[in-house]
Amino acid sequence: QSGINTHKIATGIIHFDTVDSTNSYAKSIAEGQQTGTVIISEEQVGGRGRMGRQWSSPRGEGIFMSIILKPKISPLEGSKLTQIAAAAVCQAIRKVTGLEAKIKWPNDIVIEGKKVCGILTEMSAELNEVHYLVVGIGVNVNNTDLPDEIKDKATSLKVQLGKDINRRDVVCAIINLFEPLYDDFVQDGTLEKTIEICRKESAVLGKSIIILQKDMEVKAKAIEITNEGLLKVQYEDGREDMIISGEVSIRGE
């Protein structure tokens, strides 16, 4: 019953039965596409996560989609698109399933502390100009048999809800909720609504976390998400720092 009602995002959709990675495919065609083109696949045989990890992408069970975007922004702002996507997916899961989805800054959606969605934003840019961004979204929807190595850290909507979920409803909700947040950002450069959601639904604010950067692990407390979408933390020695959502990941202590 719920269709897509957007003006720009997903006015073009490319649907695959199988593909290596929707992000890789999106990057290969992005130059010739308009902003908003969505690539979606029933399965991925080379699904990619952050930090060179694999993303388990079994046929028909999850959502594997990528959005091609061409905002006129500086490359430094690229990570803001991840925040917009996280806010949209979090709201979409809540709306369709009623589950208490939370955002684990910068790019994971979790339910009861377990990951249900990851976001991989990739960018092609010169010094001050973004050519395009690809925002890749992977959601565990009807998965029941998650790979052993992620079983205690990951879950799916079906595992949490105890029944099958219509993947199309979730895709439509993500797209419909993404567009207004994205429009706000490209029109006036601010992230007000996005950050409001990221703060309200944060799984990390006020908590002790461990920041993993390269090979280092540092303990800190997450104290604020700034209007720019950065995470303000305080280390054990009292020093404060601002973290950009590049190659970092965090976990609970």
Q: Is 44 in the site for ligand BTN (CB under 6 A)?
A: yes
What is the pairing mode between strands 114-125 and 38-41? unpaired
Residue 90: CB minimum distance to ligand BTN, A: 14
Q: What is the pattern of x (binds ligand BTN, CB under 6 A) and - over residues 64-93?
A: xxx---------------------------
| Burial bucket for residue 34 (CB in 10 Å: 0-12, 13-18, 19+) | exposed
Q: What's at 143, amino acid-wise?
A: N
Least distance in angstroms from the C-beta of 153 to ligand BTN = 11
Relative to beta strand 208-213, strand 130-140 is unpaired
Nearer to ligand BTN by Cβ, of 43 and 184: the residue is: 43
Q: Which residues contact 230 (CB under 8 A, 6 or more apart)?
A: 242, 243, 244, 245
Within 10 angstroms of residue 184's Cβ, the number of other Cβ atoms is 16
Binding-site member from 138, 156, 176, 177 for ligand BTN (CB under 6 A) = 138
As measured in angstroms, the least distance from the Cβ of 23 to ligand BTN is 4
**136 binds ligand BTN per the rule CB under 6 A:** yes
Number of residues that bind ligand BTN (CB under 6 A): 20
Closest CB to ligand BTN among 42 and 108?
Answer: 108
Give me the 152-191 binding string for ligand BTN, x by CB under 6 A, dash otherwise: ----------------------------------------
- What residues does 248 pair with on adjacent strands? 213
Residue number with the smallest Cβ distance to ligand BTN? 118
Q: How far, CA to CA in Å, does 244 sit from each of 13, 78, 106, 215, 251? A: 31, 10, 9, 17, 16
Residue 223 · residue 234 · CB < 8 Å: yes
Residue 143 contacts residue 58 (beta carbons within 8 Å)? yes
Q: Is residue 50 part of the contact set for ligand BTN (CB under 6 A)?
A: yes
Instruction: Out of 10, 27, 42, 48, name the contact with ligand BTN by CB under 6 A.
Output: 48
Q: Which range binds ligand BTN by CB under 6 A, 2-10, 40-48, 208-216, 232-240? A: 40-48
Which lies closer to ligand BTN via its Cβ, residue 117 or residue 205? 117
27, 33, 28, 42: which is closest to 9 by C-alpha?
33
Site for ligand BTN, rule CB under 6 A? 21-23, 44, 47-50, 53, 55, 64-66, 108, 118-120, 136-138
